[in-house]
């Protein structure tokens, strides 16, 4: 298997690790049938990719085999943000290459320098991402992923801007909404939640991101760009807080 090196992997501070540990634990309490998880947001720039990557790292550090699939073929950030470099020095192929039939699955699946964490990058932008996500290749990919990984995290385009997440969600076990403090309105968040539920996926909960810290000496800024809380459905009588 090919591999990539991350030359710009952000270090996680204590508060971030604790938040991720709580998020990870609550996902696990949602049931052992949760394997494929869609992560999306209502609007761009709410931090969904950061949350997805950090959650994948947290799962892998606890001994799980994790596959992160970047399905945002409209505006991918991983290769550039992480400064990902293929071990063979060649171009990094991605999901759009596979779904369009240009590359095989083994050509787009990469190991990473983080033990237990594997990635499929988005690949080049395409004019019709929703259309190619509905092809049989995507279903085949998820079936493969379920057989070989403990958790599969799918980073999707903001559902308030594109319907990709709803298309993907119908094939998945659960969904997480990333909500940046002070960005999306409560009405938009409720609309997004209903859109996801209409696809048939179980909305596990929400991550409140970019929370302004007031009691830890960080007032006026964002603590490491990430601080989250998780609200899950732990029983039929308990609803997600979104």
pLDDT, one tens digit per residue, over 63-72 is 999 999 999 9
Establish if 228 belongs to a structural domain: no
* Segments of the chain scoring below 50 in pLDDT: 215-242
In whole angstroms, give the CA distance from residue 56 to residue 168: 18
The whole domain housing 144 covers 2-209
Using CA atoms, how far apart are residues 155 and 152, in angstroms rounded to an integer? Answer: 10
Q: Is residue 92 part of a domain?
A: yes
Q: Please give the Cα distance from 91 to 137 (Å, whole number).
A: 22
Look up the CATH number of the domain holding residue 194. Answer: 3.40.50.300
Strand partners, 85: 5
In contact, 81 and 49? CB cutoff 8 Å:
yes
pLDDT digits (tens, 9 = 90+) for 29-49: 999 899 999 999 998 889 999
d(CA 131, CA 173): 21
Please state the domain count of the chain: 1
Report if residue 216 sits inside a domain. Answer: no
Residue 3 has φ and ψ, to the nearest 5°, of -140, 165
Q: Rounded CA gap, 156 and 38, in Å? A: 7
The dihedrals phi and psi of 24, each to the nearest 5 degrees, come to -60, -45
Answer yes or no: is 225 within a domain: no
Query: How much is the pLDDT for 222?
Result: 34
């Amino acid at each position: 298997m090919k591999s990539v090196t991350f030359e710009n992997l952000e270090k996680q501070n204590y508060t971030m690790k604790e938040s991720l540990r709580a998020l990870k634990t609550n996902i696990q309490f949602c049931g052992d049938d949760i394997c494929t998880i869609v992560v999306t947001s209502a609007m761009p720039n709410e931090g969904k990719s950061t949350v997805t990557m950090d959650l994948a790292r947290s799962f892998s550090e606890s001994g799980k085999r994790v596959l992160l699939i970047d399905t945002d073929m409209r505006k991918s950030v991983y290769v550039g943000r992480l400064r990902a470099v293929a071990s063979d020095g060649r171009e990094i192929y991605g999901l759009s290459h596979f779904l369009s039939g240009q590359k095989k699955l083994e050509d787009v699946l990469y190991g990473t320098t983080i033990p237990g964490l594997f990635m499929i990058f988005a690949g080049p932008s395409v004019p019709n991402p929703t259309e190619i996500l509905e092809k049989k290749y995507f279903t085949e990919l998820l079936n493969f992923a379920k057989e070989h990984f403990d958790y599969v995290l799918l980073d999707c385009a903001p559902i308030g801007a594109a319907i990709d997440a709803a298309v993907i969600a119908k094939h998945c076990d659960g969904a997480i909404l990333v909500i940046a403090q002070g960005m999306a309105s409560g009405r938009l968040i409720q609309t997004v939640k209903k859109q996801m539920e209409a696809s048939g996926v179980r909305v596990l909960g929400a991550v409140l991101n970019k929370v302004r810290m007031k009691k830890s000496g960080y007032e006026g800024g964002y603590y490491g760009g990430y601080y989250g809380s998780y609200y899950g459905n732990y029983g039929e009588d308990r609803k997600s807080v979104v």
